[in-house]
Amino acid sequence: MAKICLEAKDLCKTYIVDGYSNNVLQNINLTICEGEFVSIMGPSGSGKSTLLYTISGMDDMTAGKVIFDGTDLSGMNDRQLARMRLLKMGFVFQQMYMMKKLSIMDNILLPGYQAKLASREEVNKKAEELMRRLGIIETADREITEVSGGQLQRACLARALINSPKVLFADEPTGALNSKASMEVLGEMVKANEMGTTILMVTHSEKVAASSDRIIYLMDGDIQGELALGKIGASDDEHDEKSAAEILQIRERKVRKWLEEMGW
C-alpha cells in the first residue's frame, strides 16, 4: 500500500469580509499518497487555489489539520512553515514569479543555495542537469525578459524541483501558455512524477487534467466527487495497441464526460 504523504482532515478556511463570513473551504478531507499526480478541478470561486495554498501552509487554516510528511502543519510557526516549504515542497504558479535582477540559472540556483542541503558545486550540477532535462540550458545566462513563456515556465519548474521536493504544488501551471507550450510543460511535469515527485495541481483544462492519476472536483468549497484515471503510462490491455496521443484523447473524453456529469 502506498504511503500517505499529504492529508487534510476536516480542513476549513473562512474569510471575514465586511463583517460577513465567507466559508471558502468546508470540512475538506483529502489524502494524497506518495507518487500520485492529482488534479483539482471545479468552477471559478469553488476554492481550488485556496485549497492548494491552505494545504501547503502558504495560507492559514481556520480549522482542521493538514499532515504533511508526518508533520501537523497547524502546529508550526511561520518560520518553521517557510523552512518546510523550502526543503520539502515545490511551487509552480500561473504567474511566473522570478527575480528580475537574476539570470534564469541564478533564479533556479537560489532556493538550492538557501536550503543548504548540498554544497554549491552539487547544487550547480543539479541545476544544470535539470535545465538540460527540461531543454532550457541555452537560457542559463539570459534575463527573464529574454525567454519565451514556455521556457520561463520550465525554468520555474526547474527551480521548484531543485531541492527534490516531496510534493510539487502547481496552480494553473499552463494557464498563461499557448497550446504547444502547455503540453511541453505538462510533459515535463509527468516526467517529474514518473521519477517520484508527488504532484497536486489546480487546473481548468480537461486536456491537462487527463494526464493526472486522479481528479478531485470541488464545488462551493466542498469535494463533490473524484475520478480515478490511473497512471498514464501504466499497462492497459484496452489501450496497448494505441499511441500515446490516442490514449490521452481517450482519457480527455472520459474527463469531459465526467465533468459534464458533475455539472461543469
Chain segment 124-180, per-residue pLDDT in tens = 999 999 999 999 999 999 999 999 999 999 999 999 999 999 999 999 999 889 999
pLDDT value at 235 more than 60: no
What grid cell was written down for 180?
A: 504547444
Q: What are the sequence ranges of the domains in the chain?
A: 4-262
CATH number of the structural domain 4-262: 3.40.50.300
CB neighbours of residue 56 within 10 Å:
22
Give me the sheet containing 222-228, strands edge to edge.
89-93, 167-171, 198-202, 37-41, 214-219, 222-228
pLDDT value at 214 more than 60: yes
Question: So what's the pLDDT on residue 241?
Answer: 62
Facing residues of 72 across strands?
67
Question: So what's the pLDDT on residue 232?
Answer: 83
Which residues, 6 or more positions from 64, have their beta carbon under 8 angstroms from its beta carbon? 8, 9, 10, 11, 12, 27, 28, 74
pLDDT value at 46 more than 90: yes
Question: So what's the pLDDT on residue 150?
Answer: 92
Question: So what's the pLDDT on residue 2?
Answer: 81
pLDDT value at 72 more than 80: yes
Distance CA 35, CA 178 (A): 28
Q: What is the reported pTM?
A: 0.93
pLDDT band with cut points at 50, 70 and 90 for residue 234: low
Give me the sheet containing 20-33, strands edge to edge.
20-33, 4-17, 63-68, 71-72
Long-range contacts, stretch 134-138, CB < 8 angstroms, 24+ apart: 134/158, 134/188, 135/184, 136/104
pLDDT band with cut points at 50, 70 and 90 for residue 21: confident
Are 88 and 167 spatial neighbours (Cβ–Cβ below 8 Å)?
yes
Question: So what's the pLDDT on residue 94?
Answer: 84
